[in-house]
Amino acid sequence: MLQKTDERLSIRRKCDLLHIKRSGLYYEPKELNEAYLALQEELMKRIDYWHTKHPYLGSRKLVVKLQQEGYRVCRKTVRRLMEKMGIHAIYPKANLSRRNFKEAIVPYLLRNYKAEFPNHVWSIDITYIPMKRSHMYLTALIDWRSRKIVGTYLSDTLDTASVIHAVREAVTTHGLPAILNSDQGSQFTSEEYKQLLRDLHIRQSMDGKSRWADNIMIERWFRSLKVEQLYPNEYESPRELRRLVSRYVEEYNTIRPHEALGYHTPSEVYNGCFSASAVDIA
């Protein structure tokens, strides 16, 4: 009897009783086709190219550049892809990286601050890396005093786990920094990341709001990596990408002299500060 009564109820009445929208009964999710996914990856590669070449370009001007290249794209799409890539225009403005509540933000500790020795101050950040049919994200850490890259980690996701892994690997290899600076992205405001730094007794610092230049050292290194190593070379797999990144880090740390370091290499300055014959860059 109950079954017959149920059969007599209209679909509208059933939805009312269950407190659901009638349109949901007829919706069939569609899988994104390969052509659409390929276009998204292509757009992100071009956004990354123009962002690396001219990091001050915002979504409005990036739309113009993409349209000039023949892409039919709107600002909403470009802003969505920039958010997915974790990038924002580098000029004085509010940070567009997704972040947690205001209570999760910690102060910037490094204004007018000079790192006196290696492992005094590190910076950490994440950048988007295009691939032939997909993309990866590179987390990197740099030592302020020596400009040595002390850690890198490649991942196919933009998440906190990748950041935590990169920090643990860097600390295992190079020891503990006194201060670790980042932007206000959600990975760095997460409780997991903050707890890691507390457990390791590392003081956490974050870029101030509208202070894009606070973490500029690692941003410049990302730009050099892409312009000098990744864009001129072909790589189709994560393994090949890791090899290119590792090669560049090795050359950057051990072969390239830096004018700001008195034409010493980052590794010479980093290792020299721990030896009796410390390299003088003062």
Treating both helix axes as pointing N-terminal to C-terminal, what angle do 34-53 and 75-85 enclose, rounded to 10 degrees? 80
277 domain residue, yes or no: no
- Domain range spanning residue 166? 115-272
Query: Residues 140, 228: one domain?
Result: yes
Q: Which residues of 224-261 are buried (b: 16+ CB within 10 A; e: fewer)?
A: ebbeebbeeeebeeeeebbebbeebbeebbeebebeeb
Query: Residues 71, 195: one domain?
Result: no
Question: How many alpha carbons lie under 13 Å from residue 282 in its C-beta half-sphere?
Answer: 5
Query: Residues 149, 249: one domain?
Result: yes
pLDDT at residue 282, rounded to an integer:
42
Q: How many domains does the chain have?
A: 2
pTM: 0.72
Residue with tokens 């034409």: 263
For residue 7, name the pLDDT band (cuts at 50, 70, 90): low
With a CB cutoff of 8 Å and minimum separation 6, the contacts of 110 are 121, 179, 181, 205, 214
Query: Residues 74, 156: one domain?
Result: no
> Which residue from 181, 150, 179 is spatially nearest to 166, judged by alpha carbons?
150
Mean pLDDT of 185-192: 92
* Domain C-terminal end among 45, 67, 85: 85
Examine the pLDDT at 125 and tell me if it is beyond 50.
yes
Per-residue model confidence as pLDDT tens digits over 232-275: 888 889 999 999 999 999 999 999 998 889 999 999 999 987 65
Per-residue model confidence as pLDDT tens digits over 208-240: 665 555 678 898 899 999 989 998 888 889 999
Q: Rounded distance, CA 221 to CA 191, Å?
A: 27
Judged by average pLDDT, the poorest of 103-117, 161-175, 240-254 is 103-117
Q: Rounded distance, CA 54 to CA 108, Å?
A: 26
* Residue 136: CATH number of its domain: 3.30.420.10
Query: Residues 81, 39: one domain?
Result: yes
Query: Residues 61, 197: one domain?
Result: no
For residue 112, name the pLDDT band (cuts at 50, 70, 90): confident
> Which residue from 228, 267, 259 is spatially nearest to 147, judged by alpha carbons?
267
pLDDT at residue 38, rounded to an integer:
87
For residue 139, name the pLDDT band (cuts at 50, 70, 90): very high
Query: Residues 236, 133: one domain?
Result: yes
Residue 94, amino acid? A
Query: Residues 47, 178: one domain?
Result: no
Mean pLDDT of 87-93: 62
- The partner residues of 180 in beta bridges, in order of sequence, read 122, 204
Residue 81, amino acid? L
21 domain residue, yes or no: no
Query: Residues 137, 65: one domain?
Result: no
Q: What is the DSSP string of 19-42?
A: T--THHHH--PPPPPHHHHHHHHH
With a CB cutoff of 8 Å and minimum separation 6, the contacts of 113 are 121
From the centroid of its chain, how far is CA 254?
A: 25
Per-residue model confidence as pLDDT tens digits over 48-79: 888 888 877 888 889 998 999 899 999 999 99
141 domain residue, yes or no: yes
Query: Residues 48, 128: one domain?
Result: no
